[in-house]
Amino acid sequence: MTTDPPNIPGIPPNQPETSGFEAMEGGTTLSNVLHRLLKKPLSLIHHFEHGEQRNSLTGKLVLIAAICLLVFGLVVGSFSAGTQLWAAPLKIVGGLLFSALICLPSLYIFTCLGGLNAKFRTVAGLLCCMIALAALLLVGFAPVVWLFSASSNSIGFMGFLLTALWLLCVGFGLTLVRRAGKALGMKGSGHLVIWCAVFLLVTLQMPTTLRPIIGKSDRILNLGEKRFFLQYWGEQLTTPHRPIRTAEEDLD
């Protein structure tokens, strides 16, 4: 005979990772989607699988991701100013959404191999939730990035800071993918682990493909110069950089 452990005041009882996989109440308004994304993200996955107005929910998630990434990109672009004020936001939004698009087929294949019995629209919605959550967390760190962009000229440090923040934020998004997989009946997480590694590689390579995002360059894109991101990072760390000049210094 077993008994449930007593509840200790001040400490919430243990809850399964699939708690919150329930019908979404309140409709697909922007405010409700934001609320659910932060507090009950699995209810959004439930809506993609069983609810109605899925296209409306998808549009709201993409809108949240795009706005948050544009704001974050604007702060990143303020580090070098000039053309980066508009180029960096566009590169960040376009690069991340394109990374998600090219990784969507492999996500559906790996979830199917892992025993997930879900429709393609549900898997696509799960990816939208992951990107929107990561973008929302990124914009929360925008004041921190602005502080260092306004007080530091070190491109190496800014690159390290942005990479660390992205890994932290996307980690929460990938955790949501794993929880959703369990809620939808996935038997094992091995296939999702492989996909998560692939997605991380793609999102780390994309900024190198679309460089520069921080720092200045004579060209908006350097597509002709192929680099693996680890190789590129190594070159940036070992090559001395000129400090970014202020507007007053450029006039002298």
Q: Is the pLDDT of residue 159 over 80?
A: yes
| φ, ψ at 135 (rounded to 5°) | -65, -40
Query: In this structure, what token pair is assigned to residue 88?
Result: 């960096």
Residue-range definition of the domain harbouring residue 141: 30-239
Task: Give this prediction's pTM.
Answer: 0.80
Residue 12 lies in a domain: no
**How does residue 230 score in pLDDT terms, banded at 50, 70 and 90?**
low
- Residue 178 and residue 116 in contact, taking contact as beta carbons nearer than 8 Å: no
Residue 15 lies in a domain: no
Residue 7 lies in a domain: no
Query: In this structure, what token pair is assigned to residue 215?
Result: 């720092």
SS (HEC) of the chain:
CCCCCCCCCCCCCCCCCCCCCCCCCCCCCHHHHHHHHHHCHHHHHHHHHHCCCHHHHHHHHHHHHHHHHHHHHHHHHCCCCCCHHHHHHHHHHHHHHHHHHHHHHHHHHHHHHCCCCCCHHHHHHHHHHHHHHHHHHHHHCHHHHHHHHHHCCCHHHHHHHHHHHHHHHHHHHHHHHHHHHHHCCCCCCHHHHHHHHHHHHHHHHHHHHCCCCCCCCCCCCCCCCCCCHHHHHHHHHHCCCCCCCCHHHHHC
Higher pLDDT, 101 or 243: 101
Residue 9 lies in a domain: no
Residue 47 lies in a domain: yes
Q: Is the pLDDT of residue 7 over 70?
A: no
How many structural domains is the chain composed of? Answer: 1
Residue 127 has what pLDDT? 94
Between CA 36 and CA 40 the distance in angstroms is 5
Residue 233 lies in a domain: yes
Residue 6 has what pLDDT? 45
Q: Is the pLDDT of residue 92 over 70?
A: yes
Residue 91 lies in a domain: yes
Higher pLDDT, 108 or 114: 108
Residue 248 lies in a domain: no
